[in-house]
């Protein structure tokens, strides 16, 4: 499947979960494809990084569900900041552990999971729909009942995947990608490289093969597809590009130049422009977005 | 009320080093718990505690692993000896088990120990959007939490924080026994002094002042009334061994002086 096919599976108004964490292993090629699309009015559920910032910058977002939005080496994302300070997006701001439990509850098809996290904080004041639950056992503790965060679609980016939709994460932290996929109705994986399944074993041990094909509906090969976020060990964060992204946000003229150069172009042209030399990060393994559909094009 | 504190410090110890010692003290008495520390002085302090009086502390590589010993600030990943995997999903297991002691930063902190890293102003349309509540709500009701505020002023030490991210004492009590059961705000370390909540009504008290700072200066830089004990001690001097560890082993590049000027 291609990036266009992936976007074709999404609809305006959907609740979309985006994997990765901060400015790390974000499915940025898929985000860029959404930026170019006619989709809008999205609810974005994310351990937020520049995915949230970019989607806010172009007005695709109605609501953000988040515990933080950060660029890691730069504390905040300028576009998310601007959207918040303009009151332009609705928000559900929750503890990052509550966020995990919400996805887990959705993936387990239960209405909520209990947790101490949130008790006493303004998370409950700012989200009046959140409820507490009293333990039915002798302790009778009153805990937060974190509701399931059901997703219409989930997008994650992994280092390697096969044609059947199994994914391999070679970096040290798989983050919560599996839980995002488990919580979603339509599940899409973008990957640095589609490989034959037999190749997984030469790339890393079995615990790196953490995304089961039971959790995926489609795979897109997008070399450099997490750029400019980190996708170790294939590449680290492009700090220089990230700084340019932040700098461009401070001036409307610079931002429209940034948009014209990087966002209103195809993924292949983005990769050429972003890398300056025409080479995709890592190695030029194939045309971005060209490759494979799981199960013959689902 | 003003207590005069000797302002001269002829020990040659910098303010940043006093801050590091004060942060190390946060971990005194801890056994095998994960020490998490945000900011430079806390990072030095946690490592120092590990190398001296809290040898069982468990430190992370700042990414997804637990490491042996106490690597210097900025150590190359290849120089670290990893002892265990600690991706974020397992971090939540640790947080919720209580096997953690944490120093977080605070953009705002108030009299009862509420902390804000979410937004300044009205949350619905903030004057300044910050990073977000992150794990502060869950951390504070699950394990000991302390705060590091490198810029003590009436903007950071406020009467009431704008968005309660980390939960203070009064809010925990109001939320009930499930919130107070594991709640502890141990210390607040700033560039001016050390604070705690060891008062009958669990409000902020001056625990010590850093040498060169007066109680009056601290009161002036604080947006609420602090409890001031009759005799305010000075933050303790590092031992010669501790000073040597800070200067030559843990922070030879003096990153600490970029955070807190001498």
A247-254 own/partner pairs: CB under 8 Å, 24+ apart: A249/A57, A249/A78, A249/A79, A249/A82, A250/A78
Q: Could you tell me if residue B7 is inside a domain?
A: no
Say if B93 is an interface residue toward chain A (CB within 8 Å): no
Closest CA to B103 of B143, B163, B161, B74: B143
Which residues of A are less than 8 Å from B118 in CB distance? 93, 122
For residue B108, what are its two tokens? 């705002």
**Helix/strand/coil for A261:** helix
Predicted confidence (pLDDT) per residue in A115-142, tens digit: 999 999 999 999 999 999 999 999 999 9
Q: What residue of B is the nearest CA neighbor of A98? A: B138
Q: Could you tell me if residue B228 is inside a domain?
A: yes
Q: Could you tell me if residue B248 is inside a domain?
A: yes
**Minimal Cβ distance to B179: which of A119, A125, A172:** A119
Share of chain A above pLDDT 70, in %: 92
Q: For A198-235, give one letter per residue: b (16+ CB within 10 A) or e.
A: eebeeebeeebbebebebbbbbbbbbbbbbbbbbbebb
φ, ψ for residue B232, nearest 5 deg: -95, 120
Mean pLDDT by 10 residues, chain B (262 residues): 45 96 98 98 98 98 95 93 98 98 98 98 98 98 98 98 98 98 98 98 98 98 98 97 98 96 71
Q: What is the number of structural domains in chain B? A: 1
Beta pairing class for A167-168 and A42-46? unpaired
Closest CA to A116 of B44, B130, B26, B181: B181
Residues 6+ apart with CB under 8 A from B195: B187, B188, B189, B204, B205, B206, B207, B226
The C-alpha of A221 sits at a distance from chain B's nearest C-alpha, in angstroms, of 26
From residue A132, alpha-carbon distances to A43, B170, B175 in Å are: 24, 19, 10
Q: Could you tell me if residue B56 is inside a domain?
A: yes
Which residues of A are less than 8 Å from B175 in CB distance? 119-120, 142
Contact B130 A48 (CB under 8 A): no
Say if A128 is an interface residue toward chain B (CB within 8 Å): no
Residues A198, A201, A207, A210, CA torsion sign = negative
Residues 6+ apart with CB under 8 A from B255: B40, B73, B74
Q: Could you tell me if residue B38 is inside a domain?
A: yes
Say if A74 is an interface residue toward chain B (CB within 8 Å): no
Domain topology for A3-93+150-268: Glutaconate Coenzyme A-transferase (3.40.1080)
DSSP-assigned letter for residue A231: B
The model's confidence at residue A290, banded by pLDDT at 50, 70 and 90, is very low
User: Which CATH number covers residue B146?
Assistant: 3.40.1080.10
- What is the average per-residue pLDDT within A74-96? 98
CA distance A99 to A159: 24
Tell me the pTM.
0.94
Give CA angle at A50 (A48, A52), nearest 5°: 55
The pLDDT, as a whole number, for residue A278 is 40
Q: Could you tell me if residue B4 is inside a domain?
A: no
Residue span of the structural domain in which B175 resides: 15-257
Scan for tokens 């950071």, then name that residue.
B156
Q: Taking the CB of residue B220, how many other CB atoms lie within 10 A of it?
A: 12
Across A78-141, where does the E strand assignment appear? 90-93, 112-115, 131-134
The C-alpha of A122 sits at a distance from chain B's nearest C-alpha, in angstroms, of 5
Share of chain A above pLDDT 90, in %: 92
Which residues of A are less than 8 Å from B129 in CB distance? 76, 80-81, 84-85
The pLDDT, as a whole number, for residue B11 is 82
**Helix/strand/coil for A296:** helix
ipTM: 0.94
Q: Could you tell me if residue B193 is inside a domain?
A: yes
Which residues of A are less than 8 Å from B178 in CB distance? 116, 119, 141-143
Contact A80 B164 (CB under 8 A): no
**Minimal Cβ distance to B132: which of A69, A118, A120:** A69
Which residues of A are less than 8 Å from B132 in CB distance? 48, 66-70, 93
The C-alpha of A67 sits at a distance from chain B's nearest C-alpha, in angstroms, of 5
Say if B63 is an interface residue toward chain A (CB within 8 Å): yes
Contact A175 B87 (CB under 8 A): yes
CA distance B246 to B20: 8
The C-alpha of B155 sits at a distance from chain A's nearest C-alpha, in angstroms, of 19
């Amino acid at each position: 499947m291609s990036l266009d096919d992936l976007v074709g599976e999404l609809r305006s108004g959907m609740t979309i979960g985006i994997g990765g964490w901060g400015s790390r292993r974000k499915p940025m090629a898929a985000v860029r494809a959404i930026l170019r699309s006619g989709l809008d009015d999205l609810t974005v559920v994310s351990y937020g990084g520049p995915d949230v910032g970019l989607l806010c910058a172009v007005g695709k977002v109605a609501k953000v569900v988040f515990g933080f939005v950060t660029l890691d080496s730069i504390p905040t994302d300028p576009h998310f900041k601007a959207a918040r300070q303009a009151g332009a997006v609705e928000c559900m701001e929750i503890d990052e552990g509550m966020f995990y439990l919400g996805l887990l509850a959705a993936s387990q098809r239960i209405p909520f999971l209990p947790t101490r996290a949130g008790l006493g904080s303004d998370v409950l004041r700012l989200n009046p729909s959140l409820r507490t639950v009293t333990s039915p056992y002798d302790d009778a503790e009153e805990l937060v009942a974190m509701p399931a965060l059901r997703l219409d679609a989930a997008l994650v980016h992994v280092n390697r995947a096969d044609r059947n939709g199994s994914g391999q994460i070679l970096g040290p932290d798989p983050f919560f990608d599996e839980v995002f996929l488990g919580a979603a109705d339509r599940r899409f994986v973008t990957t640095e490289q589609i490989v034959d399944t037999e190749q997984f074993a030469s790339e890393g041990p079995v615990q790196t093969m953490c995304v089961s094909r039971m959790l995926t509906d489609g795979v897109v090969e997008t070399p450099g597809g997490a750029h400019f976020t980190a996708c170790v060990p294939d590449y680290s964060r492009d700090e220089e590009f990230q700084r340019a992204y932040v700098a461009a946000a401070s001036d409307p003229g610079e931002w429209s130049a940034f948009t014209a150069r990087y966002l209103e172009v195809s993924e292949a042209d983005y990769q050429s422009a972003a890398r300056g030399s025409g080479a995709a990060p890592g190695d030029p393994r194939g045309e971005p977005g060209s490759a494979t559909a799981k199960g013959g094009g689902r | 009320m003003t207590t005069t504190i000797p302002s001269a410090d002829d020990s040659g110890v910098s303010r940043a080093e006093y801050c590091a010692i004060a942060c190390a003290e946060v971990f005194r008495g801890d056994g095998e718990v994960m020490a998490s520390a945000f900011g430079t002085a806390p990072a030095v302090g946690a490592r120092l505690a590990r190398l001296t009086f809290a040898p069982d502390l468990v430190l992370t590589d700042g990414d997804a692993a637990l490491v042996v010993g106490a690597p210097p600030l900025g150590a190359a990943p290849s120089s670290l000896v990893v002892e265990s995997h600690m991706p974020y999903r397992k971090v939540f297991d640790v947080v919720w088990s209580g096997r953690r002691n944490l120093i977080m930063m605070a953009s705002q902190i108030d009299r009862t120990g509420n902390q804000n890293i979410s937004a300044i102003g009205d949350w619905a349309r903030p004057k300044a959007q910050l990073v977000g509540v992150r794990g502060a709500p869950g951390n504070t009701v699950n394990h000991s939490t302390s705060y590091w505020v490198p810029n003590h002023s009436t903007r950071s030490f406020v009467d009431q924080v704008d968005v309660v991210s980390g939960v203070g004492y009064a809010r925990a009590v109001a939320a009930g026994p499930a919130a107070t059961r594991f709640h502890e705000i141990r210390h607040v370390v700033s560039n001016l002094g050390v604070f705690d909540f060891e008062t009958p009504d669990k409000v902020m008290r001056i625990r010590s002042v850093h040498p060169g700072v007066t109680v009056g200066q601290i009161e002036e830089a604080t947006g609420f009334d602090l409890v001031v004990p009759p005799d305010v001690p000075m933050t303790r001097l590092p031992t010669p061994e501790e000073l040597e560890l800070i200067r030559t082993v843990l922070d030879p590049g003096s990153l600490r002086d970029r955070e807190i000027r001498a």
